[in-house]
Structure 1
Amino acid sequence: MRSSLRIIWLLQKEEPLAFWGGLFLAFLPAAAGIALLAVSGYFITATALAGLSAGAVAFNTSSAASSIRLYASMRIFGRYIERVITHDATFRFLANLRSGVFRGLVARESNGTLSQRSATALSRVVSDVDQLDGLFLRLVVPLASATIITGLTLVILWQYSPMASIALGAVQAAGLTILAKSGGHRQKAQARKLNAARDALRVRVSDLVRGRRDLSVFGGLEQQRVAALKAVNQLDDVQEQNELTDMRNQAVVSTMSQVMVAVTFLFAAYSYQQGQMELKHIALFAFVALALPELLISLANSAGSWSKMSGAADRVRSLLTVGQDSEALQNARSNSETPLFEVGKDALNLKDIHFAYTPKAAAILDGVDLALPTGSRTVVIGPSGAGKSTLAAIVARLQTPQSGAIQIGGVELGGMAEDKLRAALTVVGQRTQIFHSTIAENLRVAREDATDAELWEALSHAGLKELVEGRQEKLETHLGEGGLGLSGGEGRRLALARAYLRNPEIWVADELTEGLDHATADKVLASFRAMTRGKTVLMVSHRASELEGADRVLVLEDGKLGEVTLPLSDEIKGRLRDD
């Protein structure tokens, strides 16, 4: 509930005019609809009674007819304007909300707390945010309208028959209570099942599409297809249960409508019998009792969705909080100093770094100290799982240590503005993200304003110029998902070209040639060394070939970082691969 209220408050804060204006405009057509039916029934009954009396000629029909036309116009045009305003405000709010959710996902990825698969993360950005459109449109607006209009109607009808108005209000309150109960614990369990079924289907389909080649080669395609179909069937079953709940809610509203008419008519007839009201007012009460349950129809549709919206609000709020904290931190960093890199001084300095993935887990880094003089080349080696990649991620501020201090160019890493950090330091590694776009657009991820000449220069330094020139569309050549159209080594060199466009002082290479054959690895290394000549380099490696030209070699083991003497001993060489 708190999360839902928080989302509603954010909408009100971001779109106050549309929020309150939408509520007012939603009230007008709903009230006009009830007034239209009530006045019409009253008018017909009063006309019939007047026709039977001696005063038929004296009955005034013009005022009632004018009221009917007015209420009909208000109902039509008011509803149209209300839908335009509220939907427009909601869609603009959801667009901003989706950006906030994405910021939260990025922040969790950066601090290492994102444990979701990509398909599940996509569900948070798309499905959860989409579900929240009903929070205002299908819950707040109809609930506010139903509450206010019911209250005003009862106040007006009280003047004619207190007993009948009390009976009408009691039945309406009973209907609201029943609908509220339908969004209770049982519905929350169904909402969790629905969310889990949707996530499972997205994961299965994502695995099937992205892994279709390997699945075809190794004969697992049919098994994965069956798993995806099973996820579809599970989702269908859960959705069927939700549909049944919605049907029950509709049945409740229909039943309450009939009960309300009967009860109200009985009390109104009793009041007439007691001489408390005129005969024509019985029709007024009956038609109001027939119209009021219409206010519950939209609530009945939303009652079954309330638990889904509530769960989505909880998940979205947690991501918004992370994203807002991240944005606030970025704003605080915006006025940070620019790092200075001078010969004879440290470009990068780490002091007493401690890091563990969870509070109860063993420390990956336990008091690590590291100083990289400007222009130096340092290689960190060590067994798999020792924390070398974690060290590289911490240096790049992709992970946050539990304690310790890091300086880049004399500026504290934690307080450095993002743009200044990325201009000073870049990371290249074995996992290269090539986007489904052109070569030029992939390169301009690093620098949007880079000219074609600068792109060709970067490709030349990366050893890809001849390859791209040989393509028919050259820089406008489209690459497929995951770099389809390039080999593994070519993808690494394209990433190097992208990094070269940033022209950073510090280069962090995380197992740059891992997974490449010897010849391709040599080409990638040659490109890397040419690009980083005169720069500060920190390399994480398992290969002996990557140690060539290093000023220092450090060994990371058991959370500690120690320096080894050059040339390397046979014992250290034995830890490295020659391929």
Structure 2
Amino acid sequence: MIRMLLRALGPEYAPPVRRTVALMTTTAVVEGLSYALLVPVLRALFGSTPDDVWPWLIAFGAAVAVYAVLRYVSDLSGFRVGTTLLRGMYVRLGDHLARLPIGWYGAGRVGEVSVLASRGVLQAMGVIAHLLAPFISAAVTPLTIVVVMLAFHWQLGLAALVGVPIVAAIQRWTGRSMAAGDAQRAERDHEATGRVIEFLQAQPVLRAGGRTAERFRLLDDSLHELQRASRRSTLSTLPGVLGLTLTVQAMFTVLLVLGTYLALGGQIGAAEILAILVLAARCADPLLSLAEVGGQLRVARSVLARLDTVLRTEPLPEPREPIQPERHDLEFESVAFRHGDRTVIENLSLSVPEGQRLAVVGPSGAGKSTLLQLLARFYDVDAGAVRVGGVDVRAITTEVLMAQIAIVFQDVYLFDATIEENVRLGRPDAADADVRAAVTAARLDEVIERLPGGAATTVGEGGALLSGGERQRVSIARALLKNAPIVLLDEVSSALDPLNEAAVHDGIERLMKGRTVVMVAHRLRTVQRADHVIFLDNGRIIAQGNHNDLLHRDPRYSDFWKASMTPAANL
């Protein structure tokens, strides 16, 4: 598990972890050796000269004091290293998630990442701080005591040593029997988390349907499955706990019977047998705690394995010898792209000259938004090439490529910060005058004037405190402030009211001026502003030209456009 932890975090964390493990092991050995002094203490106490016990008592007290200091230092080291690892894991996970392709973030990833980034990381990194010391103590201290027994009386020590492989076998068997249950519980936990998020996001729909008072069946089912999986996982631990308890009790009974036999035969004194039994009793507590600590370690290991899987997910490769594009024209050359088993784009070729506007139209699922995502390299193509300024996007660093592109999507996400802070994401070092100019150009100033806090108004999580049109204006202002030469638009006004639509179109027009633009379009006003239009269906270009030409010479485009212009299609 430590190897997996260090693989996830990196080799720079290995030295402090190894030092902490060595310190905890030393502490456990000293604890076991301190118990060895009970033998001469009891031997002197029950012997003919009880006063001889004092030097041994002083030695025992000194050994206990050394153990206490070592335990304090090792626990403190564990907490410090655990805190360092926790910080390192959050940084590593955050950096890695930011580098993963957008296609990795499927519908189920929100719940998975939420669990891993909160409870999961705490569980995995808590191993060093809270679980490692008890586990090492539970394993090493009894072994040290067994060695002490062998040193004092080989027959009793050998009898105790027989129980060691039995305990190890029970722990191994318990771990294997619980593995399936732990995996199933983790899966159900992930599913339930996703359902909780879905339940919260579905509140408008549930309330509109008059279902606010009744339970959400999908959430109920997932919680019941989680409950059943947790019950099965808990029950699977009982055989191991029971077997460990019986083994420890059997070992103690064997030592008691053997010691009594040897004492009656005169081969060992009463004081020695009493000391050996005390040592055996001291073995029992840490051994019995192995079941509980081992179960917690297995859970942490399961979480760490999932973290390791995420961290080993390969991000899109960065070019070894990056090329800086000098122009801003765009090109798709024989591009093919598959998502899972489905072909989204097939053998598509097109070009957009610098400074011109391309409109992409077509039915839902035709691959329109995918074209924008391939340009921004949210995915890598399976065949062909996507070029910016004549350079394959795979030969451009992510930082340089993103600096060339401003993206405005239909669904705008804003951070729970002020309006100004959300706008400044486009260019954090922008001067105040540039921010005000972008706000005015996007007609966001009209929104700011209505708000009590002005530009310092907090927008809420995801921009929940603003309307859809207001969020779009923030997004456009952000793109204007970025001032990138290439603009990608995924129909940003299809669900806006007329007032906001006019304001957004005004901002979009300013954003597109003088730039290379690719826009997914659904409305006549948007398409008519384009220099070139392609009609996409099933990932292929089936017609292209300007809007008026296509409307008159291509019946498929004409039929699609007439259907999109019906009142029902515009509701």
Quick one: which of 108, 133, 142 aligns to 1:116?
108
Quick one: which of 199, 214, 223 aligns to 2:205?
214
Match of 1:14?
Answer: 12
Match of 1:449?
Answer: 429
SS of structure 2 residue aligned to 1:264: helix
Quick one: which of 402, 408, 420 aligns to 1:428?
408
CA contact (8 A) 1:111 1:398 kept: yes
Letter in 1 for 2:356: S
Residues 160-197 of structure 1, C-alpha deviations (whole Å, 9 max, x = no match): 32221121111233223212211223x12321332234
Q: 1:4 to 1:227 in 2, by over 3 A?
A: farther
Q: Does 1:133 align with 2:125?
A: yes
- 1:308-323 correspondence to structure 2 within 5 Å: 308-322=299-313
Match of 1:68?
Answer: 60
Match of 2:367?
Answer: 387
Q: Does 1:163 align with 2:155?
A: yes
- The TM-score, its normalising length taken from structure 2, stands at 0.88
Letter in 2 for 1:20: R
Q: 1:205 to 1:558 in 2, by over 3 A?
A: closer
Residues 503-562 of structure 1, C-alpha deviations (whole Å, 9 max, x = no match): 100001112222224443332122111122111111111211102332111222343224
- 1:456-471 correspondence to structure 2 within 5 Å: 456-471=436-451
Q: 1:146 to 1:307 in 2, by over 3 A?
A: closer
Letter in 1 for 2:560: R
Cα distance in 2 between the residues matched to 1:436 and 1:451: 22
Q: 1:217 to 1:42 in 2, by over 3 A?
A: farther
Ranges in structure 1 where 5+ consecutive residues have no aligned partner: none
Q: Does 1:514 align with 2:494?
A: yes
Q: 1:67 to 1:227 in 2, by over 3 A?
A: farther
Distance apart, 1:498 and its partner CA: 0.9
Distance apart, 1:47 and its partner CA: 1.3
CA contact (8 A) 1:377 1:536 kept: yes
Q: 1:11 to 1:79 in 2, by over 3 A?
A: farther
Q: Does 1:357 align with 2:371?
A: no
Cα distance in 2 between the residues matched to 1:188 and 1:64: 47
Quick one: which of 314, 335, 339 aligns to 2:325?
339
Cα distance in 2 between the residues matched to 1:134 and 1:466: 50
Match of 1:378?
Answer: 358
Q: Does 1:179 align with 2:171?
A: yes
Ranges in structure 2 where 5+ consecutive residues have no aligned partner: none
Q: 1:491 to 1:115 in 2, by over 3 A?
A: closer
SS of structure 1 residue aligned to 2:462: coil
Q: Does 1:40 align with 2:38?
A: yes
CA contact (8 A) 1:161 1:271 kept: no
Cα distance in 2 between the residues matched to 1:238 and 1:387: 40
CA contact (8 A) 1:379 1:541 kept: yes
SS of structure 2 residue aligned to 1:336: coil
Letter in 2 for 1:381: V
Q: Does 1:493 align with 2:485?
A: no
Quick one: which of 527, 543, 548 aligns to 1:567?
548
Residues 309-345 of structure 1, C-alpha deviations (whole Å, 9 max, x = no match): 34323322221111xx328x34x56x6233212xxxx
CA contact (8 A) 1:354 1:403 kept: yes
SS of structure 1 residue aligned to 2:369: helix
Quick one: which of 415, 418, 421 aligns to 2:398?
418
Q: 1:147 to 1:425 in 2, by over 3 A?
A: same
Residues 359-401 of structure 1, C-alpha deviations (whole Å, 9 max, x = no match): x43x221111122211111111222211111111111111221
Residues 49-97 of structure 1, C-alpha deviations (whole Å, 9 max, x = no match): 234xxxx5xx533431222222222332222221221122123223322
Match of 1:474?
Answer: 454
Quick one: which of 66, 80, 84 aligns to 2:72?
80
Match of 1:193?
Answer: 184
Match of 1:369?
Answer: 349
CA contact (8 A) 1:4 1:313 kept: no
Q: Does 1:285 align with 2:276?
A: yes
Q: 1:497 to 1:298 in 2, by over 3 A?
A: farther
Letter in 2 for 1:465: D
SS of structure 2 residue aligned to 1:405: strand
Distance apart, 1:428 and its partner CA: 0.9
Match of 2:389?
Answer: 409
Letter in 2 for 1:22: T
CA contact (8 A) 1:160 1:277 kept: no
Aligned residues between the structures: 559
Cα distance in 2 between the residues matched to 1:547 and 1:441: 32
Cα distance in 1 between the residues matched to 2:345 and 2:217: 44
Letter in 2 for 1:356: R
Cα distance in 2 between the residues matched to 1:42 and 1:253: 30
Q: Does 1:90 align with 2:82?
A: yes
CA contact (8 A) 1:511 1:540 kept: yes
Cα distance in 2 between the residues matched to 1:268 and 1:13: 50
Distance apart, 1:108 and its partner CA: 4.9
Q: 1:60 to 1:307 in 2, by over 3 A?
A: closer
Q: 1:385 to 1:230 in 2, by over 3 A?
A: closer
Distance apart, 1:117 and its partner CA: 4.5
Residues 132-169 of structure 1, C-alpha deviations (whole Å, 9 max, x = no match): 23555566555555555455444443333222112111
Q: 1:147 to 1:519 in 2, by over 3 A?
A: closer
Match of 2:315?
Answer: 326
SS of structure 2 residue aligned to 1:398: coil
CA contact (8 A) 1:375 1:536 kept: yes
SS of structure 2 residue aligned to 1:49: coil
Cα distance in 1 between the residues matched to 2:517 and 2:268: 93
Distance apart, 1:472 and its partner CA: 1.8
Cα distance in 2 between the residues matched to 1:10 and 1:276: 55
CA contact (8 A) 2:81 2:128 kept: no
SS of structure 1 residue aligned to 2:329: strand
CA contact (8 A) 2:135 2:293 kept: no
Q: 1:130 to 1:144 in 2, by over 3 A?
A: same
Q: 1:231 to 1:357 in 2, by over 3 A?
A: closer
Cα distance in 2 between the residues matched to 1:49 and 1:194: 58
Q: 1:49 to 1:62 in 2, by over 3 A?
A: closer
Greater Cα shift, 127-136 or 265-274: 265-274
Cα distance in 2 between the residues matched to 1:32 and 1:148: 10
Letter in 1 for 2:526: E
Cα distance in 1 between the residues matched to 2:274 and 2:246: 20
Q: 1:177 to 1:485 in 2, by over 3 A?
A: same
Distance apart, 1:28 and its partner CA: 3.4
Q: 1:383 to 1:418 in 2, by over 3 A?
A: same
Cα distance in 1 between the residues matched to 2:232 and 2:455: 53
Letter in 2 for 1:388: K
SS of structure 1 residue aligned to 2:434: helix
What is the aligned-residue identity percentage?
Answer: 22
Greater Cα shift, 439-448 or 301-310: 301-310
CA contact (8 A) 1:172 1:260 kept: no
- The TM-score, its normalising length taken from structure 1, stands at 0.87
